[in-house]
Each structure stands twice: as structure tokens, then as C-alpha cells.
Structure 1
Amino acid sequence: MRNRLVFSAFSAAAVLAVVWPFLFGGQLAWRDMLVLDYPQMTASNFGGGDLFARNAPQDGFLSIIAVVMPATWVVKALMVASAVGAATGAWWLSNKELLPTLSAIALAVANPFVIERLLQGHWSVVIAAWLLPLIAAAALNGRALLVWLLVFVASLTPTGALVGITVALVCMNKHRLVTLGLGVLYLLPWAIPGIIATFRGGQDMNPLAAAQAFAPRAEEAVGTLGALLGLGGIWNADAVPDSRHLGFALFGLGVFACVLLGIRSVPKRLIVLALVGMGIAIFAWLAPAAMAWALEHIPGAGLFRDSQKLLILALPAYVAAI
């Protein structure tokens, strides 16, 4: 009972430390994030128009919400709830011992991936990252209804939909066919306008330049591989906290070492997911020409142009191992 109180208090502190900017009034604008109180119901918000459907379905969802209430309220509530979900998922995946569980909660809520994506303004990707450990834990425990709800929320972004569905299918023992069917439905708001744009002809793009521009990036004292192992390495250096430039990225290697020490207690399914996500990110860094070929010839590969975000698949395993 005492430990539960400690876990709850620590979770609340960790969540508040990250989401406090979302607790104030005002609209949300920071780099790639622009959430207005009342966005207009335009075709581009639903994946139409001349641009790629990068912001579908999140912008369309916010346009619909704005008919009833300010969209910013919903985004702020989702950010707080998802961060709480990260702490809950960490607790479910942990061994319930005091220090390991506190470490798992801290890692789930405030890891470098989450912080760097927040500083880039990728709020819907962060929601998916926070929910993924809880999706994994719920799937491993056979809580199908909860899994379907969480994947639906993660599907505000195409990346969240794909990783949420993947983790759910890998970790569930039952109801996989229903999960797959729901997953296809969750993907349609992004996939349909994407397919239409492909046939219509999209924007011109230099595949190799795109692959190089969005490849994982080295961080101070650890290089590119060390940054990835520590769940960092986002392509935009401006989205990296100053502390990372002062050698704090070395702590990520310490976290990775702890993960290796605890990896034996992690379900093999989570380890496979981590290896796939980490492997693709490392491959894209080492072989940008191969990524460029995929961008040019494989439909939908543009979703993985920013390959560092696939580290999101490693989060459940890291949290469980720590």
C-alpha cells in the first residue's frame, strides 16, 4: 500500500514536470505544432488539397472537435492523460519493487525520445510514445477493449496507428483478427488521401536529400549510435535540450546498460519490437542511399523518412527492462 502511494506521488510529479506547459490557457504553437482553438473545416485538414496528407487525421479530428469545444482543450487533456498512461504502463510492466518501478515510470514519462519530439512540436507522436508501454502491457494481459481504445487514440498520427497496431498484434494472444480489422479502419483516414495523392501526383522530392536530411543525428559525446541507444538522435539539432550538448547524452548510455542488465526479464515479443525499431533507425543512418531508394519506389515509405521516430518501438522493452 505504501509503495502504491509512492508510485502515485512520483508519477504525478513526473507527469507535471513534463506537461506543465499544457496546463495553461492559450493556443499551442511551437515548431511543427500549431493547435488553434477553432481550426477551420478545410479539405487540407482531412488530407485533401495539393499537399501530402502529413497532418491527417489529427487536423481533421481537431476540426470536428472545434464544432463543440476549443480544440486546444482536447489536446491538452490528451497530453496529460497520455502521460499518466505512460506512468501506468510502466507500473504494469515493472516488477513492483520500489526503485526499479520508479525508474521505469521516469523513463516512460520523460525519456529523450519524448522530450526531443515535444521540442519539435510532434505532440501526437508523443501521445503515441506515452501510450505504447500501456498498449503493450494491456495486450500482454489480455485486455483487448483497452488495447483497442488506446490504439484508437494513438492513431491521431499515422505513425502512432502503425506502431500501436503492430505492438498490439505482436503482444496479444487473442482477438488478433478483430485487432487487425480495427487497425485497418484506424489507418483509413490517412491511407485513403495518401493513395489519392499518389495517383494524382505528389510534390517533387529529392529522395537522397530527404533521406540525409531526416536521418538520425549524432549528439555530444556519444555519436549517432550512442544517441540512438539512449533514445535520442532526432534529425533537428534545434529540438535537442541544451543539456544534451553538455554531455548529458552519456546518461542515455547508462540507461542502455541498465536495460541490458534487465533484458532477461522482458517478454521476448517486446525485445523483437525493440530490435526492429532500433534496427531500421540504425540502417537508415548507415545506408541513406537505401532509404532514398525506398522513398522513391515503395508507396508509403515516406512515413519512415524520419527513421529515428521508429525508436518508439523500443520504449516498451526499455521500460520493462529498467
Structure 2
Amino acid sequence: MPRPVSLRPAVPALYSLALAAVVLGPLLTSPGYLLLRDAVSTPRSFPTDSALGLTDAAARAVPQDALLAAASSVVDGGLVVTALLTGALWAAGWGSARLVAVLLPAAGLPARLVAATVGVWNPYVAERLLQGHWSLLVGYAALPWTVVAAVAVRRGDHSGWPSLAVCLGVAGLTPTGALLASVTALAVLAPPGGRSRLVPRLAGAVALAGAVAAPWLVAT
């Protein structure tokens, strides 16, 4: 007889999604658009000079506003921001659980659920939500996945490189996110040891960090 399919591996992901839904309950159940401090969602955003980093001001909105303008040309801008916030909190919780699974495999499911809870339900997330910093939360959500990918690279698993590139790219929606993710990756990869060679992995990480930072570095 075939073995019954176990849902246990999916529990952290489902639990994190439920937590994200609870935290964002008012946003998910209310009509209209999110208008809270820096989070101003509208049906359609446009690629302004500021969004493209063509003004004299600091390029803090590069490339997040350009991405939002492109996405809202296809999907309603309010739905885009809601989906990004939901995905960010979901990924933060799930990534925290995954991080425990990779670094402390003997800890078991309860420890992973605790990590997921802390990843979603903490003062930093609350403060960013109250300030409307949706793009910073996207970068925050990439951090545990960045560690997981960097650990894979450190252990000699070459499949960690594409994952690391995606994580840095997602975090790179804002300059702050790019810096946080890059420093996090380097903190994992820089110490001696591991199954991969130190210099090539550091060079690869620096190259990825530079590529991710290019949009706002060029704009600045």
C-alpha cells in the first residue's frame, strides 16, 4: 500500500500564512486602499522621475516605486500592495521556521513554529506596519531565506547560489533591504571553514550584492 501523504512538512508554511492573515486582518477584510503614512496605495502608479531615480533627491524609492508602477499597470495597485504585505509576513514566518530546520534540525516542529511566531509577531514588524514601510518588510522577509541560502553555499551546495541571488534581489527593493541582506550573507560566508572555498564564495556574494545595489547606486 502507498504511504499516506504527510502534511507535517507544510505545517510551518500554513501556520505562517495564518499568522500573516491575523496580523493583516483589518487590511484583508476592509474595502478601499491602504493609506497609512508611507504606504499610499492607489489603483495605478506611474513611473515618475522619482521612481526612476532621475531627481536630485536621495534614491530611497528605487527600485520599489518603479516595480509598483509596472505591477499596477497590470493589476490594481491596492491589490499589489496587499499581496506584497501578505507575502512578506508569510515569507518571514516560513523563512524563520526553515532557518531553524536547517541550523537546528533536531529541534523539531514546535521550535519551528515558535520561530515562525517570532518572525511574524514582533515589535519590528508592528512598527514597520504602523509606518507603512511595506518594502522594508519585504526585505526583512528575505533575511532568514538569505541565511538558509548562504548556509547551503557554505556547505558546498551550488544550488544555494540561485536562491541567494533571488533573496538579495527581493531584499533589494530598497537600499536598506539590500544592505541588510548583503551584510547578512557576508556574515555567514566570510568566516573560514565550510565545504566551499572561501575566496570564490566571498567573491560571488560581493558580486551579487553589487548587482542588487546597482539600481540605487547608479541613481545616486
TM-score by length of 1: 0.54
Describe the shift of the 1:191–1:12 C-alpha distance in structure 2 as closer, same or farther (beyond 3 A).
Answer: same
Residue 132 (structure 1) aligned with residue 138 (structure 2):
no
1:169 aligned partner, one-letter code? L
Q: Please list, as runs of the form range in 1=range in 2, the aligned pairs for 1:212-227 lying within 5 A after superposition.
A: none
2:179 aligns with 162
1:28 aligns with 34
Residue 119 (structure 1) aligned with residue 119 (structure 2):
no
1:45 aligns to what SS in structure 2?
Answer: coil
How far has the Cα of 1:159 moved from its partner? Answer: 0.3
Counting matched residue pairs gives: 194
Describe the shift of the 1:71–1:179 C-alpha distance in structure 2 as closer, same or farther (beyond 3 A).
Answer: farther
How far has the Cα of 1:184 moved from its partner? Answer: 1.3
2:139 aligned partner, one-letter code? A
Contact 2:72–2:80, Cα closer than 8 Å, also in 1: no
Describe the shift of the 1:189–1:71 C-alpha distance in structure 2 as closer, same or farther (beyond 3 A).
Answer: farther
1:60 aligns with 66
What 5-or-longer segments of structure 2 have no aligned partner? Answer: 1-5, 154-159, 190-195
1:17 aligned partner, one-letter code? V
Contact 2:93–2:119, Cα closer than 8 Å, also in 1: yes
Describe the shift of the 1:27–1:111 C-alpha distance in structure 2 as closer, same or farther (beyond 3 A).
Answer: same
1-side partners of 2:75 and 2:54: how far apart? 24
Contact 1:169–1:176, Cα closer than 8 Å, also in 2: yes
What 5-or-longer segments of structure 1 have no aligned partner? Answer: 195-322
Contact 2:12–2:94, Cα closer than 8 Å, also in 1: no
Instruction: Give 1:181's match in structure 2, choosing from 192, 200, 207.
Output: 207
Residue 18 (structure 1) aligned with residue 23 (structure 2):
yes
How far has the Cα of 1:21 moved from its partner? Answer: 4.2
Instruction: Give 1:101's match in structure 2, choosing from 92, 108, 112.
Output: 112
Residue 47 (structure 1) aligned with residue 53 (structure 2):
yes
Describe the shift of the 1:101–1:55 C-alpha distance in structure 2 as closer, same or farther (beyond 3 A).
Answer: same
2:69 aligned partner, one-letter code? S
2-side partners of 1:89 and 1:82: how far apart? 10
1-side partners of 2:180 and 2:74: how far apart? 30
How far has the Cα of 1:8 moved from its partner? Answer: 4.3
1-side partners of 2:165 and 2:32: how far apart? 31
How far has the Cα of 1:20 moved from its partner? Answer: 3.1
1:179 aligns to what SS in structure 2?
Answer: helix
Runs of 4+ in 1 over 6 A off after TM superposition: none
Q: Please list, as runs of the form range in 1=range in 2, the aligned pairs for 1:1-322 lying within 5 A after superposition.
A: 1=6, 3-4=8-9, 6-23=11-28, 26-94=32-100, 95=104, 96-142=107-153, 143-172=160-189, 175-194=201-220
1:46 aligns to what SS in structure 2?
Answer: coil
Could you say which structure has the greater relative contact order, defined with CA pairs below 8 angstroms and 6 or more residues apart?
A: 2
How far has the Cα of 1:50 moved from its partner? Answer: 4.3
Give a deviation string over 1:99-149, Cα, whole Å, max 9, x none.
322211100111111111111111111111122112112211232211111
Describe the shift of the 1:50–1:16 C-alpha distance in structure 2 as closer, same or farther (beyond 3 A).
Answer: same
2:150 aligned partner, one-letter code? A
> In percent, how many aligned pairs have the same letter?
32
How far has the Cα of 1:3 moved from its partner? Answer: 5.0
2-side partners of 1:98 and 1:20: how far apart? 26
TM-score by length of 2: 0.77
Contact 1:144–1:175, Cα closer than 8 Å, also in 2: no
